A and B are shown apart, each in its own frame.
Chain A
């Protein structure tokens, strides 16, 4: 594991479960979807439409949209800025296109 910088005084939210393409994953309440996916080892959240290349979290600040995912009941969102809540059902964004 790379060395990590810990910022003291910031506590994670309650532990929760959510699903990504039907797989149950663990996360913390209020953290970004992208953060929980990354910890689960999922680095690609979608596939590019023209060349079917793997795409994922890139700019980390809401500009590039490469980390887009589909959230049940909400539609396409940027996973870098969308907070997790218990039971959230998340899918790859391209699932809508097929």
Chain B
């Protein structure tokens, strides 16, 4: 690891935000020879990218994002080789479950829509599930199985990705607070760690991207979710495969160290302003009760830890990716529902856009300016 204290400098591209989007964008740009400075308000990989539950679900994405999740999987599949490190990628499929007849109906509709965009998925009734997934509760009315779902380890990916961008020559600046951004003759970013001069600037700051855009006089609406995740002790085989809920209120998986991860976007307590990320136990109880109702084997396990993390959300739940505002050299990539799944692809697409002015996949629907000015 380099121990040089960076105090200002210049680069082809200044990236703000050291999460999964920012780091994959940095890697893409550095690999084609661009000088990149990556600035973060704290340590790299310390927010949503690091504290999410690691699901790489395709089935649980909203319709427009299903093709993007599959394209991102093309990158996930070779990730351990690309980064020369085990990052815990596993793709053995997943169940999206329905507990009531009403949910089952909605699930069937979703399955048909997903088949239409090319996803491999099949619908299973109670009897099928009893035979194929006896670890699921008999209360599960129906489920869709797709062999395309999987997961990776955010804990393993963080250090591996950092090592890769360091090898590629990216300059990393951590714990830097941005006070001003000037946009005349290139772009200069003023921080308490010095002034950084660049030809292009990209905001990849997740939930904080709205604050960064405001420094540029741009409107980027972002709401904040505070998602809770819990992990059990290491356990005998309990959850056969990644399991999500038709209503998006539960994710379950058992990972390589045999512990079970329980998520589903139940809300903790906190705001960007008060910096709190706390467990709301009243909500957590519902999250865990639902988990036990779906996978009864969880009932006998201890929860070792629960935590909460921020997730920035756009008004239409689609990510932001593209040019930000009128300056042709200012870009943004942020706020995907399922950002961990989409991260490698969206980072790469941003890198392509900055380097060549075009992208290998369409990005029009992600235009950061789609909500107009405030």
Contact = CB atoms under 8 A, between A and B. Distances in A.
Contacts of A48: 257
Interface string A47-76: 011100000000000000100100000011
Contacts of A94: 234
Nearest to A51: B257
A11 interface: no
A49 B234 contact: yes
B249 interface: no
Given A75-B300, A76-B302, A65 B257 contact: no
Contact of A96 (B236, B256, B257, B304): B236
Contacts of B233: 65, 68, 76, 93
A97 B257 contact: no
Interface in A15-71: 48-50, 65, 68
B359 interface: no
B80 interface: no
Interface residues of B, number: 11
Interface residues of A, number: 11
Nearest to A65: B304
A87 B303 CA distance: 27
Contact of A49 (B258, B301, B304): B258
B236 A97 contact: yes
B319 to A, nearest CB: 34
Interface string B228-240: 0000011110000
Contact of B258 (A68, A75, A76, A97): A97
A76 to B, nearest CB: 6
B302 A50 contact: no
- Most chain A beta carbons < 10 A, residue from B234, B236, B300: B234
A31 B274 CA distance: 41
Chain B binding site: helix, strand, loop or mixed by DSSP? loop
Contacts of A76: 233, 301-302
A74 B58 CA distance: 39
A76 B234 CA distance: 10
A94 B257 CA distance: 12
A48 B259 CA distance: 11
Contacts of B257: 48-50
A50 B156 CA distance: 14
A19 B302 CA distance: 23
Contacts of A65: 233, 302, 304
17 contacts: A48-B257, A49-B234, A49-B257, A49-B258, A50-B256, A65-B233, A65-B302, A68-B233, A68-B302, A75-B300, A75-B302, A76-B233, A93-B233, A94-B234, A96-B236, A97-B235, A97-B236
Interface of A: 48-50, 65, 68, 75-76, 93-94, 96-97
Interface of B: 233-236, 256-258, 300-302, 304
Would you list the 7 A-B pairs with minimal beta carbon distance, nearest first?
A49-B258, A49-B234, A65-B304, A49-B257, A50-B257, A97-B236, A76-B302
Given A65-B302, A76-B301, 18 more contacts: A48-B257, A49-B257, A49-B258, A50-B256, A50-B257, A65-B233, A65-B304, A68-B233, A68-B302, A75-B300, A75-B302, A76-B302, A93-B233, A94-B234, A96-B236, A97-B234, A97-B236, A97-B258
